[in-house]
A and B are shown apart, each in its own frame.
Chain A
Amino acid sequence: MNEQEKLARFEGEMLPLMNDAYNLARWLVQNEHDARDMVQDAYLRAFKFFGGVRGETSKAWLLRIVRNVCYDHLKKRQVHASDAEIENIPDHNSPETKLQVKSDIAAVRSALANLPEDFRTVLVLREMEDLSYREISEITQVPIGTVMSRLARGRQQLADSLKQMRAKDLV
């Protein structure tokens, strides 16, 4: 396989997964600019190692690289998570319900953004990327039992903080 063929095969297999890669990166690094860089770095890294034997699906493999790139970045920069940006929310709703829905989404986004990274990662992979425990364990490089407990604690914290937000709104 020459370089051109390798690139063609790589892009055919990997570029369709770019939205998934971006979503994960965006939730991990919490801003658009860095998320773009992370996705690009991940693709370059993936291309370098493309063609070797893999025991996992393309998606799990790529997301593992994205996750590693993001964690490296976070470690290096010591970036502390700010609230996720809540503008630019795609609007699928009628004007009447828009405000209500927008504030709900904003609340959930901010609650998720404030979770510890490890919990946020497994929740994004499970709920948005629809991956199995096994795949999540491959991506995050922790045992399945740890995936399970991170999901449980992440969900519990999320439920609690959403409850708190709603209570505040009612006062």
Chain B
Amino acid sequence: MTCDELNEHIDPFLDNELGLAEAQKIQQHLEQCPTCESLYASRLVVRQALQKPEMRFLPAADLSDQIHGELLKQIRPPARRTWGLPAFQFPSWAWPSLAGAAAVLLLWFGSNVFLTANRSANSVIATVTGQLVSDHMRSLLANHLIDVVSTDQHTVKPWFAGKLNFSPPVYDFSDQGFKLIGGRLDYLGNQEIAAVVFQHRQHYINLFVWPKNEATNFPDATLQKEGFNLYGWEANGLTLWAITDADPETLKAFVDLQRQKQTGAE
């Protein structure tokens, strides 16, 4: 092999794109020829410099949310309201499962398919609660439990009022052991929902609230899913689901307090 031939093949050699026989010829030449050896060394320097992880640019954390939002617009009519998305970002590993869940939920929220498809209430509940469990877990895992931190219901309630077109019930039950600690916007499918957050000893309770779907009527439901306890009911035109890792009796006590207050408020 001549130096000219080597010159022509040094890049595919470096990139592992040569057959074994050719690669061996290059190797032999490099061992005997200091000029070509130094060319190869300078290629390696460039490679090492380019392959440093700091050379890569990383997108801002909100880009995948933004793209997801634009993609949704491709398959749905534009949303009726246009305020900015809340700061929460889904971790990228969660996309495949979230996208799946979102797709199922879109069937329900995005169209009238639900009315005609004759899906049972149970299967809708299963879908919704599956998503709520994810929301709950993510709120704990991603350290994004609360957007507005306050133990004062008169702070939390107006905060929601500026962000949603419905008004979730916000009461503090500190005296009964369920301390209001704040509120957050979350998602059910593509719909923005309220999450009112309570603390009971070392447990957190997310109370998810959104406007009742007029087309449906759900009975109270209580169930267990992935180690969490859930309780769902409808009141005052709202659908409410409480979820926690505390035991079912504690959850029931919490729900009863909520319902008493809500009934009183009517």
Contacts and interface: CB of A to CB of B under 8 A. Distances in A.
Interface string A107-149: 0110010000000000100111000110000000000000010
A81 interface: no
Interface residues of A, number: 49
B75 interface: yes
A132 B100 CA distance: 32
Interface in A22-80: 22-23, 26-27, 32, 35-36, 39-40, 43-44, 47-48
Interface stretch (B47-55, B164-172, B211-219, B224-232): B47-55
B57 A18 contact: no
A11 B43 contact: no
Contacts, number: 136
B52 A132 contact: no
Contacts of B103: 4-5, 7-8
B64 interface: yes
A46 to B, nearest CB: 10
Interface of A: 3-8, 10-12, 15-16, 18-19, 22-23, 26-27, 32, 35-36, 39-40, 43-44, 47-48, 89-92, 101, 104-105, 108-109, 112, 123, 126-128, 132-133, 148, 151-152, 155, 158-159, 162
Interface of B: 10-12, 15, 17, 42-43, 45-47, 49-60, 63-64, 66-68, 70-72, 74-75, 92, 95-96, 99-100, 102-104, 106-107, 110
9 contacts: A12-B100, A15-B68, A15-B96, A23-B58, A35-B59, A47-B74, A91-B54, A92-B53, A108-B52
